[in-house]
Amino acid sequence: MLALGLLAPGCAPLETPVPSAGEQPFDEIRALPDASADPAARSVRHVPRSAYKARWFFLAHLAPQRPRRVPSVFDPELVRTLRRLQGDNSLRLLITFADTVRVPRFPRLDAALARSEAHNKRALDSTNRIIGSLRTQRSRQYSADTTALKSHGARIIKTFWIVQACAAEMRADSLRALRVRGTNIVQVRLDRGQVAPDHDHERGNDMDTAITQIGSNPWFTDFGDGLVALLDTGVRSTHRLLNDPSPLCMLADLVSGAGTPLAGTVCSKPGADGSVPGAGDTYPDGHGTSTATVLSGNGVPITPDESSRGWFRGVTRASLDCFQVYGADHHLSAAAAVTGFELALERLDQVLVAEMQENDVPDVGAIEAAADHAHDAGLVVIAAGGNSSFKGLGVPARARRAIGVGASGVQLNPPGYAYAWGPSPDGRPKPDLLAPTGTETAGNKSDDSMRYHTATSGATPYAAGAALLLENWLMRPWPSTPFDPDPGQVHALLILSGEAVGPFGSQTQTGVGRLRMPEGGLMLCGKVSVSKGTRSVDVPIDLPEGGADAISAAIWWPERAVTINGVPQDTHNDVDLEIRTPGLLGRRLAVSDGADGVFERASFSDSDPLKQRLVLRIVPYKIRTAESQVVYWALHAHGATVK
């Protein structure tokens, strides 16, 4: 820990963590014009030490970590299944254990180079060493973790390195006799999860209409490349919108194992017709095929003439690793989903798209933990919220360090929505934002069939595509040192790209509202830390000559789950956001001060251009964790230009 020291007599000491290797630095103010790749228009300043204001000693204390309801170790569907099975029936399970291993930041591939190029091979070799270390750390614990299971006749099928969990097979009578008290087991669930969540000449629901709504077109040319992993029902690799040219890289069925023995330096090798071993969509209408096309469809004409060229071009040009995690029965394999997270990290993808809606399991399981650990390793996780409003938001969309996506109809204004929402089991508002849904895209009935991709599944790839564009924009060359943003910085930009302002209550159905990428202005962003001794952090914002028409700002912060003696704790840190004029007597222009979430968004405009210096104040209202809380911030100066 790097101490900032006592800032005034009688004040608590302020400390900020030193970033781990590969992580984004603290206390930088990075400024860059919207959708611009020009390094000369980018600048880097530093947040001064004086920006950190300390609390008085007698106010510098932690809020209580209130115990939360203890979730059942056996998930509800497993309990229902055990009631109706004979004792000698075998069950395929995913079992999660208490986890004490921190997953470090992984290297990053250069998406402009082939996977086999020397730079990328070195990054993949480094990744394999990290994974080897994680396997070693976990293997020491697995022998103890699985003792009780083996004593009851369990067959261990597979263990994981991203989380402390195993896939296993047990007889129903043995599982009924299993006593979990005194073991490290925190969740036992069925490996078989829930079911996966259809050219009509109507131009209002084509993909290009939705792309226009989210404002991603200006970003496509310079920032459209990248590496994305998709966890879904598989993909029809021969569809004309995904073939010749094809954006598909690795295609694998993680349920059967087809297509998985593939090094990170290569892609699956297609046949002459585009078919690939391990490819194929298990969903009759083509759920995964539709998602892949929204992400990275080639936009070739689907009509006999050229008039439809570009109507069905994806949000990005990303190379896609498509992992089938649903079986032939259309049900999710939870073990396959965790394996998908591992493969996405092994292959150093930038964004993972999780098209699943496991909304009937407690929030202590392996899938949610895998999403959180993937974020720590550097992967942006974007997940469908799910479509069952009475069951609440699904996993991993409700994970602490994933963005959960809700849906708004592409042809509805104002948007319609009747899908899953929070709060999460620990009270956080979800979804985080809305993206357009109901667009016409590729289907699975033939190589030129089309369907409507609806609900939150149809919305998620638009949000994921925007996340990739924003991350690539941040990574373009800077005038000084290279910049490798944390996933949390991308999350803050996504929150900033909403249309609603806080405070946000735990019962919100829309999060920050509809996604619209920044346009026509200047963006500033950075990363700070707060703790129990921090009263506020005042980030100075200097507007360029000519000022700005309006100011929008957002913060997002990653929280960690803490369990004490098997009881999950309330570790939510309440952080607020203000836009202010500077000085001791400065006034608040806008505020977002909700109590429940991990994001805030505020906005301010005036009839005259804003020409003064402003302050973005980050206020830790209530801190429950002894570990410093990282906070990512982003600010958009609408109409501001760099000369």
Least confident of 26-35, 83-92, 407-416: 407-416
Q: Give residue 262's identity as a one-letter amino acid code.
A: L
* pLDDT > 80? residue 559: yes
| Neighbour count for residue 499 (Cβ, 10 Å) | 16
Q: What is the pLDDT of residue 453?
A: 92
Q: What is the pLDDT of residue 245?
A: 92
| Neighbour count for residue 324 (Cβ, 10 Å) | 29
Q: Look at phi and psi of residue 121 and say left if phi exceeds 0, alpha if psi is from -120 to 50, else beta.
A: alpha
Residues 6+ apart with CB under 8 A from 164: 96, 97, 98, 99, 100, 101, 138, 141, 142, 145, 184
**Considering Cα of 412, then 414, then 418, then 422, what sign does the dihedral take?**
positive
Q: Tokens representing 316?
A: 């990005």
Neighbour-count burial of 418, counting CB atoms closer than 10 A to its CB (0-12 exposed, 13-18 middle, 19+ buried): exposed
As a whole number, mean pLDDT of residues 258-273 equals 89
Cβ 235 vs Cβ 251: under 8 Å:
yes
Tell me the per-residue pLDDT of 388-427, one tens digit each, with 9 for 90 and over.
Answer: 766 678 889 999 999 999 998 887 655 556 578 878 888 8
pLDDT band, residue 1 (cuts 50/70/90): very low
Q: Tokens representing 240?
A: 């004309």
Tell me the per-residue pLDDT of 196-219, one tens digit each, with 9 for 90 and over.
Answer: 763 444 556 678 888 998 999 999
Tell me which range, 359-368, 407-416, 484-493, 586-595, is most confidently predicted by mean pLDDT.
Answer: 484-493
User: String of b and e for 231-259 (b: at least 16 CB within 10 Å)?
Assistant: bbbbbbbbbbbbbeebbbbbbbbbbeebb
Strand ranges (E), 200-337: 227-232, 234-235, 248-253, 280-281, 319-324, 331-333
| Neighbour count for residue 132 (Cβ, 10 Å) | 11
**Could you give the dihedral angle defined by the CA atoms of residues 237, 239, 240 and 244, in that order, rounded to the nearest 10 degrees?**
10
DSSP 169: E
Q: What is the pLDDT of residue 514?
A: 93
HSE-CB at 220 with a 13 A cutoff on CA atoms is 19
Q: Give residue 294's identity as a one-letter amino acid code.
A: V
As a whole number, mean pLDDT of residues 45-73 equals 83
pLDDT band, residue 315 (cuts 50/70/90): very high
Give the C-alpha separation, 40 to 614, whole Å: 24
Residues 6+ apart with CB under 8 A from 207: 293, 294, 297, 311, 312, 313, 314, 439, 440, 441
Angle between helices 118-145 and 334-346 (to 10 degrees): 140
Give the C-alpha separation, 272 to 238, whole Å: 10
Higher pLDDT, residue 499 or 195: 499
The single residue listed with the structure tokens 């999403």 is 371
Give the phi and the psi of residue 186 in degrees, each rounded to 5.
Answer: -115, -20
Give the C-alpha separation, 587 to 26, whole Å: 27
Give the C-alpha separation, 464 to 446, whole Å: 26
Q: Tokens representing 474?
A: 């941040």
C-alpha R_g of the chain: 24
Beta pairing class for 521-530 and 28-33: antiparallel
In order, the DSSP letters of 478-515 are: -SSS-----HHHHHHHHHHTSS--S---TT-SSTT-B-
The single residue listed with the structure tokens 């803050």 is 492
Give the C-alpha separation, 282 to 289, whole Å: 10
Cα 390 to Cα 330, 420, 421, 505, 546, distances in angstroms:
22, 7, 9, 18, 50
Residues 6+ apart with CB under 8 A from 622: 63, 573, 574, 595
Give the C-alpha separation, 440 to 203, whole Å: 9
Q: What is the pLDDT of residue 643?
A: 62
* pLDDT > 90? residue 72: no
As a whole number, mean pLDDT of residues 59-67 equals 78
Tell me the per-residue pLDDT of 579-632, one tens digit each, with 9 for 90 and over.
Answer: 999 888 888 999 999 999 999 999 998 766 677 789 999 999 999 988 899 999
* H/E segment holding residue 353: strand 351-354
Helix (H, G, I), strand (E, B) or coil at 614: strand
Neighbour-count burial of 481, counting CB atoms closer than 10 A to its CB (0-12 exposed, 13-18 middle, 19+ buried): exposed
The single residue listed with the structure tokens 């109409």 is 639
Beta-bridge partners for 537: 52, 618
* pLDDT > 70? residue 221: yes
Helix (H, G, I), strand (E, B) or coil at 180: coil
Q: What is the pLDDT of residue 419?
A: 78
The runs of H, that is alpha helices, within 260-396 are 287-296, 334-346, 366-377
Cβ 501 vs Cβ 592: under 8 Å:
yes
pTM for the complete prediction?
0.94
Q: Which strands, in side-by-side order, build the sheet including 433-437? A: 248-253, 319-324, 227-232, 351-354, 380-384, 403-409, 433-437
Tell me the per-residue pLDDT of 430-479, one tens digit each, with 9 for 90 and over.
Answer: 999 999 999 999 999 999 999 999 889 999 999 999 999 999 999 999 98
Residues 6+ apart with CB under 8 A from 309: 299, 300, 301
